[in-house]
């Protein structure tokens, strides 16, 4: 019998799905960050804001206010069939030259200013989420340059009501920051495990700078998800999950079809190196594997099953048949609102092209139940809203035969609707 209190068995209202987007983005309008900064930074902020030129076209467009206009955002998402969201950052926090948390930091004074900017964003986000109680799980931002400060910010933002966890910055090669497998980050993993704070690693934040030539931009598109995937094997081989068994890692907007193959590869290397290390003969591989089993504990696929999840933004049809190997309890669909590559205002069609023909209980878990479990959403609060605005079971069961005019999401990319069962 289905347990209505268990998000993995939750089917939502009788005729509709409770859809929670596990990947959305928001941030304050630039000048609106000032009240969230300590007064001693106000003059610095005025000087920075006066000279700042925003490099992102979507933050200069007429639609930019979808990042901070709570009423507009709520209306558009409800019209799209979505009742709640996990909120990643989008706009530029104070004192940053770009959105990248790994932008070079030349001095301690500059680092202090950037920490102030991130804390301002986190304070703004807590207020933004509080405007719609129970419907937004805000993801806090930190820097890895100062682990003690990161730990303090995780505690502070959890107490402030941000339930989306923490955004783990990427560590691109050449950044000068210790690699994610380093035990220097153990205090961060410890506090996230202690407070049940999900560690989110979002696509696009871990790539090294490549330049602005046409080839460089194409290479970035090909490589960016791979660089984001690296967090998975860094934390696994580094033993973070062995030392902190309740630590949870969410990989968001990096696709999901890669996961089964990568887990097989990681298991292969783990078994190969551990086996070599256990032999009496000293070989090159035995040196590579020395201490690995003790450091990381379980094999990678077991760590995935116990500790990891995927924010499967605008999940594409070719990924859906892999859901058993990924884990049906691991997949969390996302609309990527308000980005151009997001499914809004065609999220219902995006759900249809991916999930039509699947059992209702599986769909309910992937579009909402799993996210409710990972991020602590109250389905008792959300189900009545979904009964009013959510997509109907019959609607999502109908295969999509025509891509909507104007749809720009990769969910609708050519060839994406081909599926073999």
User: What CATH number has the domain bearing residue 267?
Assistant: 3.20.20.140
Helix (H, G, I), strand (E, B) or coil at 118: helix
Domain of 154, in residue numbers: 20-412
Quickly state the pLDDT bin for 263 (edges 50, 70, 90). very high
- As a whole number of angstroms, the distance between CA 258 and CA 251 comes to 12
- The Cβ-side half-sphere exposure at 29, using a 13 Å CA radius, reads 12
- Residue 350, domain member (yes or no): yes
Distance CA 177, CA 96 (A): 17
The pLDDT of 401-415, averaged and rounded, is 89
- Alpha-carbon gap, residue 140 to 167, rounded angstroms: 6
Enter the DSSP assignment of 97: S
7 located within any domain: no
Query: Would you say residue 29 lies in a domain?
Result: yes
Residue pair 138/68 in contact by the 8 Å Cβ criterion: no
DSSP state of 391: P
Contact 17, 396 (CB under 8 A): yes
Residue 1 is assigned to a structural domain of this protein: no
The predicted model scores a pTM of 0.93
Quick check: is 396 in a domain?
A: yes
Comparing 34-48, 149-163, 200-214, 298-312, which segment has the lowest mean pLDDT?
200-214
pLDDT for res 282: 82
Rounded Cα gap, residues 330 and 153, in angstroms? 27
Number of domains in the chain: 1
Sheet holding 84-89, edge to edge: 20-26, 84-89, 136-138
Residue 24 domain flag: yes
**421 within some domain:** no
Q: Residue 416 — very low, low, confident or very high, per pLDDT cuts 50/70/90? A: very low
Residue at 12 is within a domain: no
Q: How many CB atoms lie within 10 A of CB 278?
A: 10
């Amino acid at each position: 019998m289905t347990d209505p209190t268990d998000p993995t068995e939750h089917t939502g209202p009788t005729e509709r799905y409770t859809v929670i987007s596990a990947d959305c983005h928001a941030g304050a309008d630039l000048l609106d960050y000032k009240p969230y900064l300590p007064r001693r930074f106000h003059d610095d902020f005025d000087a920075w804001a006066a000279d700042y030129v925003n490099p992102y076209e979507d933050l200069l467009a007429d639609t930019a206010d979808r990042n901070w206009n709570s009423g507009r955002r709520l209306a558009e998402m409800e019209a799209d069939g979505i009742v709640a969201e996990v909120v990643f950052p989008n706009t530029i926090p104070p004192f940053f030259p770009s959105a990248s948390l790994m932008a070079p930091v030349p001095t301690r004074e500059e680092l202090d200013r950037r920490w102030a900017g991130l804390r301002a964003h986190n304070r703004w986000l807590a207020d933004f989420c509080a405007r719609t109680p129970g419907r937004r799980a805000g993801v806090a931002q930190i820097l890895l340059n100062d682990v003690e400060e990161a730990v303090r910010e995780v505690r502070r933002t959890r107490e402030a009501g941000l339930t989306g966890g923490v955004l783990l910055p990427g560590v691109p090669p050449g950044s000068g920051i210790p690699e994610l497998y380093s035990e220097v980050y153990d205090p961060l993993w410890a506090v996230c495990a202690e407070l049940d704070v999900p560690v989110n690693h979002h696509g696009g934040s871990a790539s090294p700078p490549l330049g602005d030539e046409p080839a460089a931009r194409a290479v970035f598109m090909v490589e960016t998800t791979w660089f984001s995937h690296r967090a998975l094997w860094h934390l696994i081989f580094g033993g973070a999950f062995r030392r902190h068994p309740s630590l949870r890692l969410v990989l968001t907007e990096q696709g999901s079809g890669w996961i089964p193959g990568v887990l097989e590869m990681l298991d292969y290397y783990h078994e190969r190196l551990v086996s070599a290390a256990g032999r009496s003969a000293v070989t090159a591989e035995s040196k590579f594997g020395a201490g690995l089993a003790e450091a990381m504990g379980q094999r990678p696929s077991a760590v995935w099953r116990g500790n990891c999840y995927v924010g499967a933004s605008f999940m594409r049809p070719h990924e859906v048949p892999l859901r058993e190997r990924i884990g049906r309890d691991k997949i969390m669909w996302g609309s990527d609102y308000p980005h151009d590559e997001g499914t809004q205002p065609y999220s219902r069609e995006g759900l249809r092209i991916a999930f039509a023909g699947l059992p209702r209980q599986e769909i309910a878990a992937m579009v909402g139940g799993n996210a409710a479990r990972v991020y602590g959403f109250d389905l008792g609060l959300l189900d009545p809203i979904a009964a009013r605005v959510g997509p109907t079971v019959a609607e999502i069961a109908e295969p999509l035969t025509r891509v909507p005019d104007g749809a720009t999401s990769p969910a609708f990319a050519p060839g994406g609707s081909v599926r073999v069962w």
